Structure 1
């Protein structure tokens, strides 16, 4: 029992020595984790462990790169802005023209319908004031308008056909007058040369019969397109006369909202 106090004393001293060694190792580890401080530089008191400190005052300052937009001259920037907008506008116009060319017949027919509607719309208003229903007033106006337009077209064609013989005689007289002038002119043109020219012209017409026939067929195609466009114009005119206001209000929905008040007044005034 006498040895027990001595053993306990040695055990306590060893624990104390072990604790001192652990404290020493912790101090060394903390010293290794501290940020490196340059010679002559005073670390910031607010710098936390593990945070990169600010560069020292003697370090050279590096100039920041300028903004690319600010580096471009003002005139070049204006030219570039205007250039790409012009390109977009030109592309839009080109696409629009291609679309109009593809539906040329429809565009022309609708344009003609707008003009006819502008002429016939006052008649519809007057008939409605006389007590006719809207549909009946539209039908009567459309029929009368198309009849008048047809009569005008028939009168023009009739006048042309009536004067066709006179026109042929005048053409022959003009050719004879031209022939006499060529014979009496100082160019020394002989009658045989004129006859040769006429013969060559006749031969050219005879050898190009296929081209002439093709031109005739093309004329038939043009006539068919004309009749188709006429029917489209009549159909469009009928709808514009009957419900033009609602069609105009629907068309306004395609316009941006900010521009609608200014565009909306164009329809009623037209």
Structure 2
């Protein structure tokens, strides 16, 4: 049956695109719904893919001189020893400087209170006001202690789920590193022959982007942490090593992670060495962030992850609204993978001209059309 000629062409076109858009939205909503139902499995698999992408070069290096299975175990052991050594160093640093920092932090709080009470600010906050806020906070805690305890008991299950997710991630990582190519080939062989090439191209593009993002993020985070640690150590800021680790962790959370780490480092510097050092720390870590964005990101990531900053900001915001910190972490690599697959599979038309007519040119063309 043909089209009804009484329906305008623009309406038929709009209707066609509308139902296609609705189908895409429904498919995306279905994916999010299914992911929410098995969130623990999604987290575990995502973490396994990240670890696999980071450790795959190490595994390939070991596999040159030993069987693949043994190389996988040695790569995981190397990663475990690295993080264990890092954690031991941080704990020893905190234990050695904690008492000193506590006293300096108390002095810093007194300086802040004195500035708020006697400084040039139009609002005056006295020590009695702070004591009143603390008393109100203690009263609120005593009134809601039962609710907090019940929430803490409920969170015990979340802790167990966290350990389960880590165990599943390690289990999957072992197989991804040892037999990843065989698993992918098996999956492709389950598809119709006419679809295998498209899936192979899409999977290759997606893995290239995801692994590049994961490895690049780890390299950039390590560089940020090392630079921040050296910078804080030169300034003599206490707990330089733990703060450097905090900067390292913050680099994994796009947009919001680095500023939070900078604020915490500045607060510690303020408590220990005063306002001038805190200001220097803030400026220094901000410069490290600029070095990361303008030098490290293009150099390390290259063409593997090419997303506009606006897309990154929107992705992180949407991910945070949907799944909190987890959504902020996974949103950028998922969007990058989706865009990479789309660019590999699409049939791109020739680009249009960059010249955009001005309002004067549009008005002149419209006037000429009426005259004709």
TM-score by length of 1: 0.62
Partner of 1:7: none
The question of 1:199 aligning with 2:135 is answered yes
The question of 1:226 aligning with 2:158 is answered no
Q: Distance in 2 between matches of 1:169 and 1:82?
A: 66
* Contact 1:248 1:267 (8 Å CA) reproduced: no
Task: Note the C-alpha offset of 1:172.
Answer: 3.2
Change (3 A) 1:140 1:74: same
Partner of 1:26: none
- Which has the bigger relative contact order, CA under 8 A and spacing at least 6? 1
Partner of 1:78: 13
TM-score by length of 2: 0.47
RMSD: 3.1
Task: Note the C-alpha offset of 1:147.
Answer: 3.3
Task: Note the C-alpha offset of 1:232.
Answer: 1.1
Residues paired across the two proteins, number: 204
Equivalent residue for 1:175, pick from 109, 114, 121: 109
Q: Deviations over 1:76-126 (max 9, x none)?
A: 001100111111110110110011122222212212211222222233333
Equivalent residue for 2:37, pick from 102, 106, 109: 102
SS of 1:129's partner is coil
The question of 1:116 aligning with 2:51 is answered yes
Q: Distance in 1 between matches of 2:42 and 2:127?
A: 53
Task: Note the C-alpha offset of 1:74.
Answer: 0.3
Stretches of structure 2 that go unaligned for 5 or more consecutive residues are 212-372
The question of 1:262 aligning with 2:201 is answered yes
Runs of 4+ residues deviating >6 angstroms: none
Larger-gyration structure (1/2) = 1
Q: Distance in 1 between matches of 2:10 and 2:46?
A: 44
Equivalent residue for 1:135, pick from 58, 62, 69: 69
Q: Distance in 2 between matches of 1:79 and 1:88?
A: 14
Q: Deviations over 1:8-48 (max 9, x none)?
A: xxxxxxxxxxxxxxxxxxxxxxxxxxxxxxxxxxxxxxxxx
Q: Distance in 2 between matches of 1:244 and 1:182?
A: 60
